[in-house]
Amino acid sequence: MNTTKSTTSAEQCISARVSADSELTPSELDEKYNPSGGGEHPDHTRSEWREAVAQDLTLSGYWEWVAHTLSL
């Protein structure tokens, strides 16, 4: 079984999603991934954000942090 091709396709899908998401505002990210509350971005979790806050790496709210992280 050739896993290299499927991994490459999965990586391309993730890259395309991140690229598209990097154009969204924090409010748009919230609407896209958090329609019912409690949601999170698939690549930048709330636990990662909490860790960044705990380490004084950000003072931003979750969706602001996601938008900034995607823009890097």
pTM, entire model: 0.76
Q: What is the pLDDT of residues 6-35, one digit of tens each?
A: 557 766 665 666 679 999 999 999 999 999
Angle, in degrees to the nearest 10, between helices 62-71 and 26-33: 110
Q: What is the pLDDT of residues 21-70, one digit of tens each?
A: 999 999 999 999 999 998 999 999 999 999 999 999 999 999 999 999 99
User: Whose CA is closest to 17, among 65, 64, 70, 69?
Assistant: 70
CA 27/CA 61 separation, integer angstroms: 11
Sign of the alpha-carbon torsion through 41, 44, 46, 52: negative
